[in-house]
């Protein structure tokens, strides 16, 4: 069995006594791509912040592999707009040698922007820059909070393809949050449906049939969980509804067991 990079044991986080993350058990192993989905307020970002050590757990444990190197891609790049900062200088802030930074930029396809102002980058270019900064650390575990935020549909597909390639090249684990069900179901190995607790988890093609998934997201979305092909030209929101036109692909096929629960959600 692959090495466990992070293990969560009965992890709970409470704010003012209110559970935001409740009794979560999860293991991320080398080679995994695990995607966390869930409605707004489900505790997704809190969960990964706890893994990163940014947020303290109220109960339970976060066990990290010894000498674990983490690479983090936040949802947004927040910089003071009046601060002059080009891509080269931004990468130097990672503390990695310039050659390593340039290699990382080339791998994520933005090395031609090395002298460009960070403030003038498009959404997709910023996300690739953030991924390059994480990649420069040669991480064992990539933690991605909405990595395709602000990226157009074609850019999202390419970005998820790149994440899979980096997983293979680095033999790292990946845990990410995403709202785009259609693309993420093609880009991930396992889906975790979170609504404070883990409602259900499993292979992408199986999870959409789980009663807890249907209860949380409103209705089955089996037709929207097709394996991505490059002719795909639409996307779905959290309820599986098409939000920008086009026609669906043929349904994908999954395998394996999935786990669910029958907790009610408000």
* Residue-range domains of the chain with CATH: 4-69+140-260 (3.40.50.300), 79-138 (no CATH)
Where does residue 59 rank: exposed (0-12), middle (13-18), buried (19+ CB within 10 A)? middle
Band (pLDDT 50/70/90 cuts) for residue 218 is low
DSSP state of 222: G
- Look at 257 and 191; give whichever has higher pLDDT: 191
Q: Is the pLDDT of residue 46 over 70?
A: yes
Predicted pLDDT at 224: 40
Residues 94-127: tens digit of each pLDDT: 899 999 999 999 999 999 999 999 999 998 899 9
Nearest to 39 by CA among 175, 215, 208, 158: 215
Query: Rounded mean pLDDT of the chain?
Result: 80
Predicted pLDDT at 139: 96
d(CA 80, CA 203): 41
Q: Is the pLDDT of residue 171 over 50?
A: yes
For residues 265 and 215, is the Cβ–Cβ distance under 8 A? Answer: yes
Predicted pLDDT at 33: 94
- Look at 102 and 215; give whichever has higher pLDDT: 102
d(CA 266, CA 209): 20
- Look at 76 and 26; give whichever has higher pLDDT: 26
Residues 49-67: tens digit of each pLDDT: 999 999 999 999 999 999 9
What is the average per-residue pLDDT within 222-248? 38
CB atoms within 10 A of CB 239: 14
Q: Is the pLDDT of residue 85 over 70?
A: yes
């Amino acid at each position: 069995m692959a090495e466990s990079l992070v293990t969560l044991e009965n992890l709970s986080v409470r704010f003012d006594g209110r559970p935001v993350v409740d009794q979560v058990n999860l293991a991320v192993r080398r080679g995994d791509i695990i995607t966390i989905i869930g409605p707004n307020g489900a505790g997704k970002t809190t969960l990964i912040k706890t893994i990163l050590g940014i947020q303290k757990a109220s109960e339970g444990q976060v066990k990290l592999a010894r000498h674990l190197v983490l690479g983090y891609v936040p949802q947004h790049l927040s910089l003071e707009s009046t601060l002059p900062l080009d891509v080269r200088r931004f990468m130097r802030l990672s503390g990695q040698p310039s050659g390593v930074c340039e290699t990382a930029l080339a791998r994520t396809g933005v090395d031609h922007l090395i002298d460009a102002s960070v403030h003038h980058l498009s959404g997709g270019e910023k996300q690739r820059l953030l991924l390059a900064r994480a990649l420069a650390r040669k991480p064992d575990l990539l933690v991605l909070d909405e990595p395709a935020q602000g990226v157009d549909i074609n850019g999202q597909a390419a970005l998820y393809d790149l994440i899979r390639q980096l997983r293979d090249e680095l033999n790292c684990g990946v845990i990410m949050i995403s709202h785009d069900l259609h693309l993420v179901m093609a880009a991930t190995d396992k889906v975790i449906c979170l609504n404070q607790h883990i409602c259900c988890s499993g292979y992408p093609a199986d999870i959409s049939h789980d009663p807890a998934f249907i209860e949380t997201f409103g209705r089955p979305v089996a037709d929207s969980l097709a394996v991505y092909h490059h002719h795909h030209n639409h996307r779905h929101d959290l309820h599986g509804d098409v939000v920008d036109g086009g026609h669906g692909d043929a349904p994908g096929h999954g395998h394996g067991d999935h786990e669910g629960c029958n907790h009610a959600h408000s």
